[in-house]
């Protein structure tokens, strides 16, 4: 297995290679990522979401959660984030007060057969799934056509 740090660094390199602008990223346990606060909370720590990577290209936003293994709570968190209005102000601030035309929410995991097989049944919760191999190659398992075009 490869570490979450390697997955994050590999995805960042892949995005830069395809000319995405990196808005924020968070290496595990670093505390350097952008914190999205829920619109409704007076408790500054309740319901926080810190995406591992947020990037922008041609008015399309992309938001990643990265893991060294399949982790269902991240899939559920992204589903909630994309299907609720509870984080509208936080997303607006994240994208510097100009929301992209579309924001895609997805996961990057290790390219290990067992982990990918665990993730496949939950693709309906996310917009995309990419994997990172031990040689740091990023491959997509599930990617909407609109995103595929931005990686060509």
For residue 41, what pLDDT is reported?
Answer: 62
Q: Taking 70 as the threshold, does the pLDDT of residue 43 lie above it?
A: no
Q: What letters, b where the CB count within 10 A reaches 16 and e where it falls short, cover 55-74?
A: bbbeebbbbbbbbbebbeeb
pLDDT digits (tens, 9 = 90+) for 65-89: 999 999 999 999 999 999 998 899 9
Question: Could you tell me the CA-to-CA distances from 11 to 2, 95, 123, 149, 152 in Å, in that order?
Answer: 13, 19, 19, 17, 15
**Structure confidence at residue 42 as a pLDDT band (50, 70, 90):** low
Q: Taking 70 as the threshold, does the pLDDT of residue 45 lie above it?
A: no
Question: Could you tell me the CA-to-CA distances from 40 to 34, 44, 82, 98 in Å, in that order?
Answer: 18, 10, 16, 21
Half-sphere exposure in the Cβ direction for 14 (13 Å, CA): 23
Distance (Å, whole) CA 40 – CA 44: 10
Q: What letters, b where the CB count within 10 A reaches 16 and e where it falls short, cover 15-35?
A: beeeebeebbbbbeeeeebbb
For residue 52, what pLDDT is reported?
Answer: 95
pLDDT digits (tens, 9 = 90+) for 114-125: 999 999 999 999
Q: What are the sequence ranges of the domains in the chain?
A: 4-31+51-84+98-151
CATH 3.40.50 assigned to domain 4-31+51-84+98-151? The reply is no
Enter the tokens of residue 81. 């984030």
């Amino acid at each position: 297995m490869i570490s979450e740090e390697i997955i994050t660094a590999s995805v960042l390199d892949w995005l830069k290679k395809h000319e995405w602008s990196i808005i924020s990223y968070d290496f595990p346990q670093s505390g350097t990522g952008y914190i999205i606060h829920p619109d409704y909370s007076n408790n500054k720590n309740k319901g926080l979401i810190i995406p591992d990577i947020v990037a922008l290209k041609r008015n399309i936003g992309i938001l990643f959660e990265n893991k060294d293994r399949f982790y269902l709570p991240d899939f559920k968190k992204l589903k909630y984030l994309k299907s609720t209005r509870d984080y509208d102000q936080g997303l607006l601030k994240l994208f510097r007060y100009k929301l992209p035309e579309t924001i895609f929410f997805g996961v990057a995991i290790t390219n290990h057969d067992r982990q990918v097989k665990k993730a496949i049944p939950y693709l309906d919760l996310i917009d995309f799934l990419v994997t990172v191999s031990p040689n740091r190659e990023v491959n997509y398992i599930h990617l909407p056509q609109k995103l595929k075009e931005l990686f060509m």
